[in-house]
């Protein structure tokens, strides 16, 4: 029993999922992405224990938190900083993903002030339309970055699926490899090919992940055990390494459809209700400020999520053999969006087991 909503991470399952992903990738480098957990040091350590060669996060505040907690790793900053934050990124991160040469120039100046070299991954947009320069812009970018004494161009990378929902395949990943090989000829040395994120595991499963891809940045598939293309289980990974739960604060028989004049709900939506007569309903101490109700699946399939307001989650528990008691917790497997909300909410307790 618990008095508050909580998100629980089974660290042993995170470690095992990381190991299984690395094994499936045939030893390619995996950078564990911790951003959905707000840079949890515990999750980072579990990924490293499973064989991740480094940790990646989109916010340098999260990287700073992990370093302060004693996580010893090669840290990648996934979101390019505004130039004004270059000193912070150079101080905190070992490598950052970049597409604007103005930002790289700011990083070069910051690295000079810090007395260190800063590595970058040159990001190319291959159709997803999130970050990355267009392929034709890559040669000029590389020439300019290579001339900066305190910048090291570590490799070429791309992001797919996160914004435009474009699936990694033989064509776009093949283009990434070809661009990298041209860049290698231009710079006269081998470069790292960073072939995307969790969605590239589908290319692996389909047998079209190019052999030349050197590494992937993996978060969701390690933590939730699913493909980010289909949201179905992938590579035999644990799908319950993360769960969310909350205590019952009311359990009563009520009509299944409201009565009276209907208007918008608190979030500007007009809800639709199925009238199933009187049903046993439970309310949990968790709402939209804590989780995305459409993205949670009860561990007990006899429980149904009906909806939520800011602070209340409404369930149909009529099919349970015994009504839940006040204070009993009901647990769910969260989607990526629900996991992100739970870790971000200050009202959800974070627990680590295993």
What residues act catalytically? Answer: 35
**Which residues, listed in sequence order, are joined to residue 55 by a DSSP beta bridge?**
32, 75
How many other C-beta atoms are found inside a 10 Å radius of the C-beta of residue 316? Answer: 17
Encoded tokens for 86: 């270059």
Contact between 189 and 195 under an 8 Å Cβ cutoff? The reply is no
Burial class from Cβ neighbours inside 10 Å (0-12, 13-18, 19+) for residue 74 reads middle
β-strand pairing of 304-308 with 313-316: antiparallel
Contact between 201 and 26 under an 8 Å Cβ cutoff? The reply is no
Contact between 194 and 216 under an 8 Å Cβ cutoff? The reply is yes
C-alpha distances in Å from residue 335, one per residue of 227, 257, 284, 291, 342: 11, 27, 18, 10, 10
Contact between 51 and 32 under an 8 Å Cβ cutoff? The reply is no
Tell me if residue 122 falls in helix, strand or coil. strand
Encoded tokens for 175: 């283009």
Contact between 55 and 38 under an 8 Å Cβ cutoff? The reply is no
**Which residues, listed in sequence order, are joined to residue 119 by a DSSP beta bridge?**
95, 152
Q: Residue 254, by phi and psi: left (phi above 0), alpha (psi -120 to 50) or beta?
A: beta
- Residue 110: partners with Cβ closer than 8 Å, 6 or more residues away: 86, 87, 89, 90, 91, 118
Phi, psi of 263 (to 5 degrees): -135, -165
Eight-class DSSP state of 233: B
Contact between 51 and 19 under an 8 Å Cβ cutoff? The reply is yes
């Amino acid at each position: 029993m618990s008095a508050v909503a909580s998100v629980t991470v089974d660290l042993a399952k995170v470690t095992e999922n990381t190991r299984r992903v690395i094994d499936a990738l045939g030893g390619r480098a995996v950078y564990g992405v911790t951003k959905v957990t707000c840079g949890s040091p515990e999750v980072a350590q579990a990924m490293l224990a499973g064989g991740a060669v480094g940790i990646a996060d989109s916010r340098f505040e999260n990287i700073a938190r992990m370093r302060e907690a004693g996580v010893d790793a090669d840290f990648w900053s996934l979101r390019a900083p505004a130039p004004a934050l270059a000193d912070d990124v150079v101080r905190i991160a070992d490598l950052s993903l970049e597409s604007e040469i103005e930002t790289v120039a700011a990083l070069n100046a910051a690295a000079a002030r810090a007395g260190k070299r800063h590595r970058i991954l040159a990001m190319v947009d291959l159709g997803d339309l999130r970050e990355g320069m267009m392929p034709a812009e890559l040669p000029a970018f590389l020439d300019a970055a290579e001339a900066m004494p305190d910048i090291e161009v570590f490799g070429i990378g791309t992001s797919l699926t996160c914004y435009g929902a474009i699936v990694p395949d033989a064509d776009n990943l093949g283009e990434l490899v070809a661009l990298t090989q041209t860049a290698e000829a231009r710079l006269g040395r081998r470069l790292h090919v960073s072939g995307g994120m969790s969605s590239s595991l589908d290319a692996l499963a389909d047998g079209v992940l190019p052999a030349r891809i050197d590494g992937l940045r993996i978060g969701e598939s390690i933590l939730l055990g699913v493909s980010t293309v289909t949201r179905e289980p992938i590579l035999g990974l644990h799908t319950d390494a993360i769960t969310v739960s909350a205590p019952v604060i009311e359990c009563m028989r009520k009509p299944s459809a409201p009565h009276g004049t209907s208007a918008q709900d608190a979030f500007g939506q007009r809800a639709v209700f199925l009238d199933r007569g009187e049903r046993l309903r439970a309310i949990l101490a968790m709402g939209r400020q804590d989780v995305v109700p459409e993205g949670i699946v009860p561990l007990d399939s006899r429980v149904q999520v009906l909806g939520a307001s800011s602070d209340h989650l409404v369930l149909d528990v009529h099919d349970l053999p015994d009504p839940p008691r006040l204070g009993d917790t009901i647990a769910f497997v969260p989607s990526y969006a629900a996991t992100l909300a739970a870790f971000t909410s200050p009202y959800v307790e974070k627990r680590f087991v295993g």
